[in-house]
A and B are shown apart, each in its own frame.
Chain A
Amino acid sequence: MGSNVSSNDTASMMSTKIVIAGGFGAGKTTLVGSVSEIPPVTTEAVMTEASRAHDDTSATPQKVTTTVAMDFGRLTLDRELIMYMFGTPGQARFWFMWDDLVRGAVGAVIVVDSRRLADCFDAVDYFEKNQNIPYVIALNKFDGQLEYTPDEIREALEISPDVPIIDFDARDRRSSGNVLKRLLEYTLSRPKSAELVG
């Protein structure tokens, strides 16, 4: 890291983010580690959740604080553009946290362990309902072979027809990098609409 970065260079830097979601042990941390230029950092995020609408009678809004681990990695894409990757637990009970993490993301990768499809139901459901974040499915073939074909997986998980399903090996840098490329290509191919800000 140069210490003589002029303030002009610094001021023109921009950042962007993608989210890596998926089931327990699916390979999220491995994916981030394969592509990141820094060792993947696992950080504890303390998140505050406004309480959901319960049917309790007290009118006082409650806040719940939870500590969760998230991984992040970094890629310098050109002199002025950095992309961050945020890996996040996939279970529905962390959805409140996804809202924070997903806000402003250019896209998401759902890592799927092809032997345990059910583990990523929650993640797929979340992104199918949040249509403004494009996502791709990255199928981690743990034993070098897929239990299901991509078509079977699309049907089983009720994934929209246009969502790319990509085979990959999370331990392999190029294979993981290819997933990121496909995500950006997909993001760029989607029609843009100004009302999707949010």
Chain B
Amino acid sequence: MVQTLVSTADPGTEPPNNLMPESQNIYRLCREARSVAEIAAELKIPLGVTQVLLSDLADQGLVYIHPTITGHSPSENQVLERALRGLERLFQ
């Protein structure tokens, strides 16, 4: 999904040089967690292409795909409550 966060699995390292240049750029960019949408915007790669490159990188264990919270299960309520408290802090 466009909001999903991605991190490089081993952020201290250089990308394997058998990767395509676009994938190497993703590898470097995601040393700090980024959303799929940000990666696409920053590297100017179409969203659909970015998603394909990311899932290939994830299959190779080179990037880590973070969980997303959709609020559709009761167990996610806790996280939504944290989100609400965060908003209350920011916009009191």
Contact = CB atoms under 8 A, between A and B. Distances in A.
Binding partners A and B: yes
B16 to A, nearest CB: 18
B4 A15 contact: yes
B45 to A, nearest CB: 9
Classify chain B's interface size.
35 or more
Contact of A100 (B2, B33, B40, B79): B2
B47 to A, nearest CB: 5
A181 B64 CA distance: 30
22 contacts: A7-B11, A16-B69, A16-B70, A16-B80, A17-B3, A43-B47, A46-B49, A48-B48, A72-B37, A77-B82, A78-B86, A81-B86, A86-B2, A103-B1, A132-B72, A174-B91, A184-B84, A184-B87, A188-B84, A192-B74, A192-B77, A197-B70
Interface of A: 1, 3, 5, 7, 10-11, 13-17, 35, 41, 43-48, 72, 74-78, 81-84, 86, 100-101, 103-107, 132, 173-174, 177-178, 180-181, 184-185, 187-188, 192, 194, 196-198
